Amino acid sequence: MKTDTIFYRLFQSFPSIFFELINHSPTEAQAYQFASVEVKQLAFRIDGVFLPTTTTAQQPIYFVEVQFQRDSEFYSRFFTEIFMYLNKTKLSNDWRGVVIYPSRNVDKGA
Domains and their CATH numbers in the chain = 2-22+30-106 (3.40.1350)
Dihedral pair phi/psi, residue 50, rounded to 5°: -100, 110
Whole-number pLDDT of residue 35: 86
Contact status, residue 52 vs residue 61, Cβ threshold 8 Å = yes
Whole-number pLDDT of residue 43: 67
Mean pLDDT of 25-50: 83
Question: Mean pLDDT for the chain?
Answer: 85
**pLDDT at position 37 over 90:** no
Give 86-99 pLDDT, tens digit per residue.
Answer: 988 888 889 999 99
Q: What is the pTM of this model?
A: 0.65
